Amino acid sequence: MKPIIILALLLLFSGVTGPVYAQLASGSGTRPDPRLAQLEMALNHLGQEQQAVYQQFQMIQELRRNEIQDSQPLTAQGYLTMGGVKEAPPASYDDNIRLQRERTERIQQYTRDLNQLYARYAELGNQKRALLDQLTELAQQAQAGR
């Protein structure tokens, strides 16, 4: 559910800035307000940071998904599929329990990381929305002042 929300936010914010830039670019040769340039730079920075967070989210999500799918204990059969020695002894019960605990801990850590990245992505989206509102307001003031 969360990846769908993130994707929707990404798509939403990637298309929102176009109309504002078009309005600002269609000026009548007057000198643009320096606040507009600052807001645009901040907006671009947030967009890049948000994209980086989204890519991190995707990578960790894939690592978590692979970890969950690979839940078989490492027996002699597991060694064969991992490219181990054909005559490898089966893993001991204690080794299997330790590996399962480690795998569970990794999955839990990936889940925590995903939650943190999701929260950061949403926070960046809120910051972007506020900047877009300011940018739109300044653009409207510039249009009204002409």
d(CA 92, CA 74) in angstroms, rounded, equals 9
Tens digit of pLDDT for each residue in 84-94? Answer: 555 566 678 99
d(CA 70, CA 87) in angstroms, rounded, equals 22
Identify the pLDDT of residue 35.
Answer: 87
Identify the pLDDT of residue 109.
Answer: 98
pTM listed for this prediction: 0.65
d(CA 36, CA 135) in angstroms, rounded, equals 6
Quick one: pLDDT band at residue 138, thresholds 50, 70, 90?
Answer: confident
Tens digit of pLDDT for each residue in 43-102? Answer: 999 999 999 999 999 999 999 999 999 865 554 445 444 555 555 666 789 999 999 999
